[in-house]
């Protein structure tokens, strides 16, 4: 074979690998790519995963600030090796499954496991906490009107503006599902970043917002989370996803499984508070937690 041809082949293979190759094991010396989304606990969990793997001899690269579709496609193409997803998101947004009449958490989990397996993605474990959508209103407003559940909003809903993140109004498991199950419609809804939602409800620009149950700002802004007594929202258990190559690496699986059922909702809220309120770096928070749990050396 001519030298020029060899060079062309090497260059082509190098380009292909740069576009999509990721690691399979620490023993091979290749890099494990850890994905993550665009908010507090995702940054922290991605760093936890990376630190655990690094402690066992793996090289890692953390890629956060990615959306659902990018992470999903990245897993299928081998560009992302591992990340934390949520059962409700996987069920409705990734697998496009129809809403359940009543959301049963274990049933959702099993259908997600089965559906993702068909895409070459393994659900390794549940991490332990749920990060559900919810509806929150100012505590003083709720006390004055004795509002504790979403149903209790019915007399006021026609005059209320709902503040949401950018995706909630258009998600099948979001605002459409909420209004269908409770048979009411907010007067208006305004989409904004999760951070701006809190400023908007404090200033009175909106009357209710859609926070996550692990968000510490609910307490900081003196809000009341309303009970979803009709189970309009699906369960959002945090789950560890890995691609086929990592699923076949016993050492990696055993390492990642150390986070199985490890972090409950209260603990995740505490870790998020360190990020949101104390302004600590995600990797520092992750390292301190893993050391305190005896999962890595200090």
pLDDT digits (tens, 9 = 90+) for 265-298: 999 999 999 998 999 999 999 999 999 999 999 8
Question: Could you tell me if residue 110 is left (phi over 0), alpha (psi between -120 and 50 degrees) or otherwise beta?
Answer: alpha
For residues 68 and 81, give the distance between their C-alpha atoms in angstroms, rounded to a whole number.
15
The pLDDT, as a whole number, for residue 230 is 92
Average of pLDDT values for 191-195?
A: 88
At 173 the pLDDT is 82
- pLDDT, residue 159, reads 97
Give 47 or 21, the one with higher predicted confidence.
47
Band of pLDDT at residue 113, cut at 50, 70 and 90: very high
What CATH number has the domain spanning 26-132+235-292? 3.40.190.10
- 32 φ, ψ (degrees, to nearest 5): -90, 125
By three-state DSSP, how is residue 56 classified? coil
Q: Which residue has the higher pLDDT, 147 or 101?
A: 147
**Is the model's pLDDT at 11 over the cut of 70?**
no
- Are both 26-132+235-292 and 135-226 of the same fold? yes
Percent of the chain scored above 90 by pLDDT?
Answer: 81
Query: Which tens digits make up the pLDDT trace of 123-138?
Result: 999 999 999 999 999 9
| Cβ-contact 137, 224 below 8 angstroms | yes
So what CATH class is 135-226? alpha beta
Contact indicator for 47, 76 with CB cutoff of 8 Å: no
**265: how many CB neighbours lie within 10 A of its CB?**
15
pLDDT higher than 60, residue 17: no
Is 93's pLDDT higher than 70?
A: yes
Res 177 pLDDT > 80: yes
- Quick: pLDDT tens for 209-240: 999 999 989 989 999 999 999 989 999 999 99
Look at residues 285, 231, 12 and name the one whose alpha carbon lies nearest to residue 101: 231
Residue 298: the pLDDT is 80
Per-domain boundaries in the chain: 26-132+235-292, 135-226
Judge whether residue 203 has pLDDT over 80.
Answer: yes
In the three-class reduction of DSSP (H, G, I as helix; E, B as strand; rest coil), residue 23 is classed as coil
> pLDDT at position 29, please?
57
Q: Which of 242, 240, 150, 162 is nearest to 201 (CA)?
A: 162
Mean pLDDT, the chain, whole residue set = 90
User: In angstroms, rounded to a whole number, what is the distance separating the alpha carbons of residues 195 and 33?
Assistant: 28
């Amino acid at each position: 074979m001519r030298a020029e041809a060899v060079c062309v082949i090497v260059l082509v293979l190098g380009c292909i690998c740069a576009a999509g190759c990721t690691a399979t094991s620490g023993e091979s010396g290749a890099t494990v790519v850890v994905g993550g989304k665009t908010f507090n606990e995702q940054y922290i969990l991605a760093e936890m995963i990376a630190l655990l793997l690094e402690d066992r001899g793996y090289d890692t690269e953390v890629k956060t600030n990615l959306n659902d579709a990018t992470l999903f496609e990245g897993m299928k193409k081998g560009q992302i090796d591992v990340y934390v997803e949520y059962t409700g998101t996987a069920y409705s947004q990734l697998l496009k499954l129809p809403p359940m009449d009543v959301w049963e958490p274990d049933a959702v989990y099993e259908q997600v496991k089965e559906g993702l397996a068909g895409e070459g993605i393994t659900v390794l474990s549940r991490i332990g906490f749920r990060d559900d959508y919810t509806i929150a209103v100012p505590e003083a407003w709720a006390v004055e009107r004795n509002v504790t559940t979403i149903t209790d909003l019915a007399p006021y809903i026609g005059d209320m503006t709902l503040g949401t993140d950018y995706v909630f109004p258009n998600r099948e498991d979001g605002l459409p599902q909420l209004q269908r199950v409770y048979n009411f419609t907010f007067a208006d809804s305004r989409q904004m970043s999760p951070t701006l939602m809190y400023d908007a409800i404090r200033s009175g620009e909106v009357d209710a917002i859609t926070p996550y149950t692990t968000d510490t700002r609910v307490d900081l802004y003196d809000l009341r989370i309303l009970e979803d007594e009709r189970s309009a929202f699906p369960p959002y258990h945090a789950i560890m996803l890995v691609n086929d190559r990592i699923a076949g690496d016993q050492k990696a699986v055993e390492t990642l499984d150390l986070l199985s059922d490890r972090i409950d909702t209260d603990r995740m809220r505490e870790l998020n508070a360190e990020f949101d309120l104390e302004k600590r770096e995600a990797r520092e928070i992750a390292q301190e937690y893993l050391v305190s749990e005896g999962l890595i050396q200090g």
